[in-house]
Structure 1
Amino acid sequence: MESSKSEIVEEFLFFHVFKDGRLEFRIPQSTETVPPSEDPITGVRSKDVVVSPDVSARIFLPKIPSSNTKLPLLFYIHGGGFCIQSPFSTQYHNYVQNLAAGANIIAVSVDYGLFPKRPIPACYEDSWAALQWVASHAHGGGPDPWLNDHADLARVFIGGDSAGGNISHTLASRVGSIGLPGVRVVGAILVHPFFGGTDDDRMWLYMCPTNKGLTDPRMKPAAEDLERLGCERVLVFVAEKDHLVDVGKAYVEELKKSGWKGTVEIVENKERQHCFHLHDPQDEQAIAIQKRIVSFIHQP
């Protein structure tokens, strides 16, 4: 009995699995959260909304010049290996708040289900439910007044980092496949995205009991999903010292070959690690990432 409690049978980047089925996280699971607020520096206001019993989100609204101002909307999906983090953590609250201020956009940061409490595919289904909730405001009759009054749903962007980059692709593909009435998804922003092709694949497969193996299109994008991506532009960031750098580059090349009619750009940050922009927002290249995202959103 004692050996079953201490013997590790699976070892992944984010957690160990013991013989008795117990998990032990190797990456700290920060429980620190910050409440929604009005930021005294940027003037960005935030609030939390309930999408469904399992899904919530944090909305960020920048200063607006008039009551009828309409702004682009960024639907943001946080990273964390499908098992940690949330829109309410200090790191992601500050990051998305700064994006909302810098780009002068409304941002909706989704809180999706995490493994092990809610195994994959909860992250995809929850994010899709939240995106549909955003779409329910297309004609000004949705449940949230900020979105009814100020969101221009003809200028929607889907974006995220790491696991969130993976989920962003899946959502954009679903939009292209089945549509999202009342919404025009202009672009997708993938920062250091996770896709199949590294040892991390084993962890994703473990977290998704209903997986289809190494070719599961949610993990490794299929050519047909790339071809029908439901947006006009894609921006991909990779970092030179990130173990996912080749994965991100391969995604761009496969997208170009897929027959998709949109445009894709890739930006590589030299001498930088995975998601460095979150850990050190004042890094010169982190600032450059934010500026590039702003220009991408406001590109004519």
Structure 2
Amino acid sequence: MDLTDSEILHEFRFLKVFKDGRVEKISWPPVKIPPSDDPITGVRSKDVRISNEPEISVRIFLPKLPDPTHKFSLIVYMHGGGFSMMSAFTPHYDRHARRLTGESTSIVVSVEYRLAPEHPIPACYDDSWAVLRWVAAHSTRDGAEPWLNDHADFSRVFVGGDSAGGNMAHTLAYRVGTIGLPGVKLVGAFLIHPYFGGVEADDKMWMYMCPTNSGFDDPRMKPPVEDLAVIGCERVLMFVAGNDHLREPGRAYYERLKRSGWKGSVEIVENEGQEHCFHLHDPTNENAVALVKKIVDFINQ
């Protein structure tokens, strides 16, 4: 191999790009665990492939059934990882989705979207939208997945995510507001430490992974006021962390949303002294417990 092939062309927070086209990611590949049933909480889970081309899968979590016909709120959740790492099937995200399911008594559909740069952005946005549309197709009670046919309340659907996944949750709400989603009422969106541009190093990484970008003000990365005015849900809950480099862009999104003319309600919760996505790494931390409880209250409001 020519020594110049090992020259680094781009070095980002989560990945390096070499002259010969190789990409090296940190924490790669992600550790994945299989779905399982929890005999203590009664939460069940299974993996479902919703598309072969492109390949899109979900992990579905079902709460304990109080009776065979019970209907639950439904959450479509997008994991974080800088659009390029992690998985819905990692221990951290399996545990988080399972916890949301059990404590909010909601069905959670956790999205295994395609990762950049192998699958350039907007693949992740398109995959999450495909999952939400797949979920909505069950509102007639004759879809492919029995758990959704039998137990989902399509008048109480939520989208949520952390970091990159928070950005994707916003994009889903925007698409619902501009395109529509027959059969489903999108009640709310919860965004945990979301990415919304404003950090040059991360923005350059996003633009590298999205060859069709329109620069630092790309509306997918930094949603403008006019996009926020038409998001298709009634409520938004945001979390920012005091020691998170995404704190200020998150707060800026909140302020733009408030003044956009959107008719819904938005609340922001700030965890002083906490790091980015702290709730995933230490779920027993009192702030992590409070964060999940806040989401549970938001869902069950």
TM-score computed with the length of structure 2 as normaliser: 0.97
* 1:247 equivalenced with 2:249 (yes/no): yes
Match of 1:207 among 203, 206, 209: 209
Matching residue of 2:27: 28
Matching residue of 1:168: 169
Task: Give the superposition deviation at 1:4.
Answer: 1.9
**Counterparts of 1:294 and 1:127, CA distance in 2:** 22
Task: Give the superposition deviation at 1:19.
Answer: 2.1
Is the Cα–Cα contact under 8 Å of residues 197 and 249 in structure 2 kept in the other structure?
A: yes
Q: How does 1:1-300 map to 2 (within 5 A)?
A: 2-25=2-25, 27-53=26-52, 54-199=55-200, 200-299=202-301
Q: Deviations over 1:171-230 (max 9, x none)?
A: 100000010000000000000000111021000000011111112111110222100010
Please identify, of 260-269 and 208-217, the stretch whose mean Cα deviation from structure 2 is larger: 208-217
**Counterparts of 2:30 and 2:174, CA distance in 1:** 32
Task: Give the superposition deviation at 1:33.
Answer: 1.2
Task: Give the superposition deviation at 1:30.
Answer: 4.1
Whichever residue aligns with residue 114 of structure 1, its letter is L
Query: Any unmatched runs of 5+ in structure 1?
Result: none
Whichever residue aligns with residue 52 of structure 1, its letter is S
Is the Cα–Cα contact under 8 Å of residues 4 and 18 in structure 1 kept in the other structure?
A: no
**Tell me, what secondary structure is at the counterpart of 2:267?**
strand
Aligned residue pairs total 298
Task: Give the superposition deviation at 1:92.
Answer: 0.5
**Counterparts of 1:31 and 1:173, CA distance in 2:** 30
4+ long deviations beyond 4 Å: none
Q: Deviations over 1:250-273 (max 9, x none)?
A: 000000011100000000001100
**Counterparts of 1:2 and 1:287, CA distance in 2:** 52
Whichever residue aligns with residue 11 of structure 1, its letter is E
**Tell me, what secondary structure is at the counterpart of 1:79?**
coil
Is the Cα–Cα contact under 8 Å of residues 79 and 85 in structure 1 kept in the other structure?
A: yes
**Tell me, what secondary structure is at the counterpart of 1:138?**
helix
**Tell me, what secondary structure is at the counterpart of 1:267?**
strand
TM-score computed with the length of structure 1 as normaliser: 0.97
**Counterparts of 1:145 and 1:158, CA distance in 2:** 21
**Counterparts of 2:10 and 2:118, CA distance in 1:** 18
**Counterparts of 1:29 and 1:250, CA distance in 2:** 32
**Counterparts of 2:42 and 2:251, CA distance in 1:** 37
**Counterparts of 1:106 and 1:42, CA distance in 2:** 14
Q: Percent sequence identity over matched residues? A: 60
Q: CA RMSD in A?
A: 1.0
Whichever residue aligns with residue 212 of structure 1, its letter is S
Is the Cα–Cα contact under 8 Å of residues 138 and 144 in structure 2 kept in the other structure?
A: yes
Task: Give the superposition deviation at 1:85.
Answer: 1.0
**Counterparts of 2:2 and 2:241, CA distance in 1:** 43
Whichever residue aligns with residue 22 of structure 2, its letter is R
Task: Give the superposition deviation at 1:50.
Answer: 1.3
**Counterparts of 1:28 and 1:58, CA distance in 2:** 21
